[in-house]
Amino acid sequence: MTEQGQEAVRALQGLEDRRSSVRLRAALAVGTAPDPRFVDMLVERCAVEPEFFVRDMLTWALTRHPVSVTLPALLREVGSERAQARSQALHTLSKIGDRRAWPAITRALLSDRDDEVARSAWRTAVVLVPEDEESALAAVLATQLGRGERETQLSLSRALVALGEVALPVLRAAATASDRRVRTHAFATERLLRDPDAGFESAIEEAKRAVALGGDGEKG
């Protein structure tokens, strides 16, 4: 084995070290000297790595490898039974940005029972969606309005805002929903779409007032 190969093997062993600093350096080393043979191990490590910063470095390392190798491995992973595996694979696909991955962003992922997976799917979807499917994506995303706590709702609002004007019809439809949380979230998201500089908390509070008054989201 060449000296470079030996270094790569040591780096891969470091990915399983109990110290996060060692794992971080190992992921950096593998990304610095990419080798397609190690893609599967990087993907597998993403599924179990507990530290955010190490996972982020693993994603970076994967983006350094040929898409022809990483894409099939990541597409398999989005169907994993492990939530973190699905979430990280989706996150990495969003960083790679190859639209051949778009068919893998299914309605099931966009409505995944795990909030982190769903949030990753929303972010990835708006990166990969073809222009002629943006309206359909907006309609699916709108089914998730009112879901979860503030962080989850903010992620969904950002995804819908990223789609732009095509999201308006579904937001206005959701503003008439029977569920108060859905109406409030729809109003707040439309507010952000019209004024991207408005803070989410401010938009939510304004939306709550509008819903309480039976307004249309434009009233203060």
| 98/27 same-domain check | yes
| 81/156 same-domain check | no
In this structure, what is the dihedral angle of CA atoms 118, 103, 34, 9, given to the nearest 10 degrees?
Answer: 70
Q: What is the pLDDT confidence band of residue 123, given thresholds at 50, 70 and 90?
A: very high
Is the per-residue pLDDT at 217 higher than 60?
no
| 69/153 same-domain check | no
| 110/12 same-domain check | yes
Question: What residue numbers bound the domain in which 164 lies?
Answer: 135-220
| 61/87 same-domain check | yes
| 148/68 same-domain check | no
Return d(Cα 219, Cα 203) in angstroms, integer: 12
Phi and psi, residue 177, nearest 5°: -65, 155
Q: What is the pTM of this model?
A: 0.87
Q: What is the pLDDT confidence band of residue 209, given thresholds at 50, 70 and 90?
A: confident
- Of 98, 128, 158, the one marking the end of a domain is 128
Which secondary structure element, helix H or strand E, spans residue 43, and what is its range? helix 39-48
The residue among 220 and 97 whose pLDDT is bigger is 97
| 142/177 same-domain check | yes
Return d(Cα 92, Cα 108) in angstroms, integer: 18
Mean pLDDT over all residues of the chain? Answer: 90
| 172/91 same-domain check | no
- Of 128, 156, 191, the one marking the end of a domain is 128
Helix axes 134-142, 115-128, angle to 10 degrees: 160
Return d(Cα 25, Cα 58) in angstroms, integer: 10
| 165/98 same-domain check | no
Q: What is the pLDDT confidence band of residue 67, given thresholds at 50, 70 and 90?
A: very high
Q: What is the pLDDT confidence band of residue 6, given thresholds at 50, 70 and 90?
A: low
CA atoms within 13 A on the CB side of 190: 21
What is the chain's length? 220
CB 137 within 8 A of CB 163: yes
Q: What percentage of the chain has pLDDT greater than the value 90?
A: 76
Total count of domains within the chain: 2
Q: What is the pLDDT confidence band of residue 215, given thresholds at 50, 70 and 90?
A: low
Return d(Cα 70, Cα 68) in angstroms, integer: 6
- Of 87, 107, 128, the one marking the end of a domain is 128
CATH code where residue 77 lies:
1.25.10.10
Supply 204's token pair. Answer: 């939510």
